[in-house]
Amino acid sequence: MTRLSKKVKNRVHGWVVFDKPYGMTSTQAVGKIRWLFNAEKAGHGGTLDPLASGLLPIALGEATKTVSHAMDGRKVYRFTAAWGEERNTDDVEGEVTARSDTRPSVQNIESLLSRFTGEIQQTPPAFSAIKVDGERAYDLARAGEAVELAARPVVIEELRLVDVPDADHATFEVVCGKGTYIRSLARDMGRALGCLAHVSMLRRVAVGPFTEDHMISLEKLEELSHKAPGGNAMEGALMPIETVLDGIPALAIDGTSAQRLRQGQSVLLRGANAPIAHEAVLVTSGGSPVGIGTVEQGSLKPKRLFIL
């Protein structure tokens, strides 16, 4: 009896700036992209709710070693707050828990924005992935348990009113840091305005260096996959591993030093311009990324090396 051979995975490395469709989970998106590229490894750079659409950075191959840098980057969202109802999930999926007939004026909304800009205290939604005694909060909430999460500081760099299509809705754009929940933001704005609110539309348009202009749809990726089953043509849909490392210093070394680093050895940096200390540097050799290193007392040490 002949055993079926396992399909050989492609050694593909880089970032797919995926335009995640509404209704798909982040885990499903990673699985789909990994399958389309027939990649060995895949991971995402920051969860996007199933009921949200937009930019989900997906790392393939050695790019998975840089995921934390994408997750730490600032995010830009567009969202619509629906006034008059608060829901247990803080979005359209949940059950209505309270109602209000009050509707805010444009002036009231705009005067509120500064209160939610800068470092603020925010309580995450009960239906979130935060762990409580080892369990995900959303699992406890779905089981009917009361979930109480502590408020924590988050940073909102910008918050602006984009549109007021009718009295029941207002659309905003927000630039924020890691850990910010847009559902909590809409809920808290509704409470502050005395009208209650939940998110009826959420779309992410930027994560770190990735922007709306870089996004590629599932339909386009499937089209490329059908045109080139071998996967080579799909590499054009990838952004380089080092894209998310633009925020750290770059350090070019010669081939001999690169080989020492790959063997786990330190490299002594010489010359007047040699850095003295850095927690993280992007190490390159011959124009190609070698990995992420640390510099201590003029010595370069390997931290995360890329096997390309």
The CATH number covering residue 54 comes to: 3.30.2350.10
In this structure, the answer to whether residues 196 and 217 fall within a common structural domain is no
In this structure, the answer to whether residues 198 and 105 fall within a common structural domain is yes
pTM confidence score: 0.89
In this structure, the answer to whether residues 203 and 269 fall within a common structural domain is no
Residues belonging to the active site: 49
Confidence class of residue 10 from pLDDT cuts 50, 70 and 90?
A: confident
In this structure, the answer to whether residues 69 and 79 fall within a common structural domain is no
pLDDT for the residue 138: 66
What 3 state SS string does the chain have?
CCCCCCCCCECCCEEEEEEECCCCCHHHHHHHHHHHHCECCEEECCCCCCCCEEEEEEEEHHHHHHHHHHHCCCEEEEEEEEECEEECCCECCCCEEEECCCCCCHHHHHHHHHHHCEEEEECCCCCCCCEECCEEHHHHHHCCCCCCCCCEEEEEEEEEEEEEEECCEEEEEEEECCCCCHHHHHHHHHHHHCCCEEEEEEEEEEECCEEHHHCECHHHHHHHHHHCCCCCHHHHHCECHHHHHCCCCEEECCHHHHHHHHCCCCEECCCCCCCCCEEEEEEEECCEEEEEEEEECCEEEEEEECCC
Confidence class of residue 1 from pLDDT cuts 50, 70 and 90?
A: very low
pLDDT in tens, 42-61: 999 988 989 999 999 999 99
In this structure, the answer to whether residues 181 and 102 fall within a common structural domain is yes
Count of structural domains within the chain: 3
Provide the residue range defining the domain that includes 236: 14-73+210-243
pLDDT in tens, 165-181: 999 999 999 999 999 99
> Is 276 a domain residue?
yes
